Amino acid sequence: MNGSEPFAGMRAVITGGGSGIGLAIARRLDAMGAALTLIGRDKARLERAIGELRRTTGHAAIACDVGDAAAVSATLAGLDAQSLPPSLLINNAGGATSAALGETSQELWDETLRTNLTGVFHCIRAVLPGLMRQPYARIVNIASTAGLTGYPNVAAYCAAKHGVVGLTRALALELARTRVTVNAVCPGYTETSLVDDAIASIVGATGRTPGQARETLLRRNPQRRLVAPEEVAATVAWLCLPESQSINGQAISVSGGEVMTG
């Protein structure tokens, strides 16, 4: 194994890989030698993301809605037949819409769980048989501190992310005697478009200025700052290393101390 490129000769599948945390993970794993398959709804965005990477070959962009079981099965099943099948699965696709529970429609609830939780299930189920045949493999689910605690006005998102953490722990035990580990990374408020949406929601609900709304989010982090996507990507990369074999079934908070787990 190449020390500077520990993932050379391995393929990583990253859902929601076209922007934000997903793109930061793509950059990190690309720099560490992995070939990438980026999956998302917007193929043009995925292709632009690939164009920003260090390497120009070995990567692929696939348009797929992770909430669509049939589409995921058809899309990801074919990856196992490639000359370089996946060894790493990073489930990053997700999103949140703010609404008090009493204002959360059935459609909003269903779509939030479909994208953030059911999509993780679909992707794992499609890729797992192939991962089991690799010398070693990793599944890393991007959850959230919302999967470890509660936040007001995002009950559906909290429920979905708690589900991701529960799924992670259950599957880690199922696979504990294999070469596959399963972990979750739980970012706090991160400098992405999701935070922009949160700020806009606070402004709309309270009449505060965007600066004041941003300060509200900063105060949640004991370090008084937003998490950088690159910090989340570094944690994902560490979990994917072969020497991280004993890290299994964990929900790792990347939040400056906002949430402390033992």
Angle, alpha carbons 185-187-190 (nearest 5°):
145
What does the alpha-carbon distance between residue 232 and residue 227 come to, in Å, rounded to a whole number?
8
DSSP 7: T
The token pair that represents 69 in the structure block: 């079981």
Structure tokens at 2: 């190449």
Residue 190 structure tokens? 């991160």
DSSP state of 99: B
Q: Which residue has the tokens 């991280």?
A: 244
DSSP state of 140: E
Q: State yes or no: is 136 an active-site residue.
A: no
Distance CA 181, CA 168 (A): 10
- The identity of residue 89, as a single letter, is L
Structure tokens belonging to residue 103: 């204002």
Q: Is 65 helix (H, G, I), strand (E, B) or coil?
A: coil
Which candidate in 136, 151, 157, 189 is catalytic? 157
Whether 16 and 22 have beta carbons less than 8 Å apart is answered as yes
Give the C-alpha separation, 231 to 187, whole Å.
9
Q: Which residues pair with 251 in a beta bridge?
A: 184
**Phi, psi of 27, deg, nearest 5:** -60, -40
Beta partners for residue 88, in sequence order: 12, 138
Could you list the active site residues? 157
